[in-house]
Structure 1
Amino acid sequence: MGRGKIEIKRIENATSRQVTFSKRRAGLLKKAQELSVLCDAEVAVIIFSSTGKLFEFSSSGMKRTLSRYNKCLDRSETSLVQYEAERQQSKEVNILKDEIAKLRMTHLRMIGKELKGLSLKDLQHLEHQLSEGILAVKGRKEQLLLEQLEKSRLQEQRAMVENEALRKQVEELKSLVPSTERPMPPFLEFQPLERKYALVKPDVISSNVVCNCAVEKQGDSDTSLHLGLSTDVYCKRKAPEIASCSNDSGAEMDQS
């Protein structure tokens, strides 16, 4: 007859518990040895009894097996951490891709594209957003224009102050340098002399003409002096006038 199944639980009897421990420990170590030999595996078994005694088995040395175990454990933890990080990054990448797609669609709709599929309420909301955006743009533009105008006004004031300072410097320099220019004489008013010719006898005409011409010459010479003309220039200009006077006098005598 085969052995029946026993319930796996703690054995309350200390003697039976110790006997069972010894039998099963020996069987476990034997199975571990057989596994290492048959399958060419590296097997290590560590057993502590209820009283604290140590029992172990290792097919390749306990320290070597434990060192290998620690390396594998660290590698497993690192791999697990890397896997979790990659999974989190992949999740974040997917979220970012979705947000980029939404933003691209919003941008297209803001410029009047991809409007199909929008309801009347969505279109009204889009129109409201565009209106607010236009108002914001206009406000910013006006602000920039006012800033530029204020900047130009300040530059103009600065230029006026600099010009005033330069003008004062020029006036100070003029006051320091003595004036070497001669004062210009005032212009004299020119009054032409009236010419009066009378009908006299021929013998008197020549003398009168000569006298009148002499008087006119003297008067005109004064005038020429006032005008700044030289005597030679004046004589050259008056010679034809004297000759014409003589001719006119002779003609009047012949008519008489």
Structure 2
Amino acid sequence: MVRGKTQMKRIENDSSRQVTFSKRRNGLLKKAFELSVLCDAEVALIIFSPTGKLYEFASSSTTKTIDRYEKHMKELQGARGKASEEHMQHFKEEAASLEKKIKSMELSKRKLLGDGLDSCPIEELQQLEAQLDKGLARIRARKNALYKERIDKLYEEEKLLLEENARLTAQLGMPLSLPRDQQDEDNEEDDEDMADVETELFIGPPRKHNY
């Protein structure tokens, strides 16, 4: 017959609760005794019944075991307190170091902005000047790189637009319009050709030509 699982809740029936207490108490005392003998462990077990009756087991002495337990807990609490104090001291030192670094960085920032320079020696001013020169050089280099990227992008867009213009012109069967630079060159050549033509200015009635 399979034994049903006992629910972990208070037994309402007084008789059943008393029977269960007696069985479990005896089993617990037996296990404590076995543990002390088999493992050579110092064991102390104290049980109070619902009516207040005391049951106990000790492998040596209940009082001795309790005293040992209290001593151990005091040592453990002392070690924890010492470790906690050491951690707090470490955190305080770290916080002070970070605060010092922040103040130094804020002071350096103000000096780079031109504030608080009256008390700076010439060597520190030279260092600040060198830092500013390096910063300006990096800014100019970055700005020029951005300009170059933008110009290259515009050239690429112009190339794509010219190709699209040529494709559309070919589809419509229209003459291809030259870029403005090429048109300017053609206009200059036409002006030179016109300059080569000899012209003569005549004032008066038309001349009579003999044919």
Superposition TM-score, scaled by structure 2 size: 0.51
Q: Partner residue of 1:72?
A: 72
Q: Partner residue of 2:100?
A: 100
The answer for unaligned runs of 5 or more in structure 2 is: 120-211
The aligned amino acid for 2:33 is Q
**CA distance 1:2–1:34, change in 2 (3 Å):** farther
- What aligned pairs does 1:202-221 form with structure 2 within 5 A after superposition? none
1:81 partner SS:
helix
Superposition TM-score, scaled by structure 1 size: 0.43
The aligned amino acid for 1:105 is M
Question: How far is 1:108 from its partner?
Answer: 4.8
Take 1:46 and 1:100, find their aligned partners in 2: how far apart are those partners?
58
Q: Which has the larger radius of gyration?
A: 1
Question: How far is 1:103 from its partner?
Answer: 3.0
Take 1:39 and 1:3, find their aligned partners in 2: how far apart are those partners?
31
- What aligned pairs does 1:178-197 form with structure 2 within 5 A after superposition? none
Q: Partner residue of 1:42?
A: 42
- What aligned pairs does 1:89-238 form with structure 2 within 5 A after superposition? 89-108=89-108, 115=112, 123=113, 127-128=114-115, 130=116
Take 2:4 and 2:13, find their aligned partners in 1: how far apart are those partners?
20
The aligned amino acid for 2:25 is R
Take 1:35 and 1:63, find their aligned partners in 2: how far apart are those partners?
19
2:29 partner SS:
helix
The aligned amino acid for 1:101 is K
Take 1:40 and 1:100, find their aligned partners in 2: how far apart are those partners?
58
Percent sequence identity is 49
Question: How far is 1:104 from its partner?
Answer: 3.4
The aligned amino acid for 1:48 is F
Take 1:58 and 1:85, find their aligned partners in 2: how far apart are those partners?
37
Q: Partner residue of 1:52?
A: 52
Take 1:16 and 1:86, find their aligned partners in 2: how far apart are those partners?
55
Q: Partner residue of 1:31?
A: 31
1:41-99 deviations in whole A, cap 9, x for unaligned? 11100000110100011111111101100101111211222222222222212111111
Root mean square deviation, CA, Å = 2.1
1:46 partner SS:
strand
Take 2:57 and 2:19, find their aligned partners in 1: how far apart are those partners?
20
1:64 partner SS:
helix
Take 1:57 and 1:87, find their aligned partners in 2: how far apart are those partners?
42
Q: Partner residue of 1:88?
A: 88
Matched, 1:17 2:13: no
1:12-48 deviations in whole A, cap 9, x for unaligned? 1111111100000000010011111111111100000
Take 1:99 and 1:32, find their aligned partners in 2: how far apart are those partners?
57
Take 2:7 and 2:46, find their aligned partners in 1: how far apart are those partners?
25
Question: How far is 1:105 from its partner?
Answer: 3.3
Question: How far is 1:109 from its partner?
Answer: 5.2
1:56 partner SS:
strand
The answer for unaligned runs of 5 or more in structure 1 is: 116-122, 135-256
Q: Partner residue of 1:165?
A: none
Take 1:38 and 1:4, find their aligned partners in 2: how far apart are those partners?
31
Take 1:25 and 1:53, find their aligned partners in 2: how far apart are those partners?
12
2:101 partner SS:
helix
For this pair of structures, how many residues does the alignment match? Answer: 119
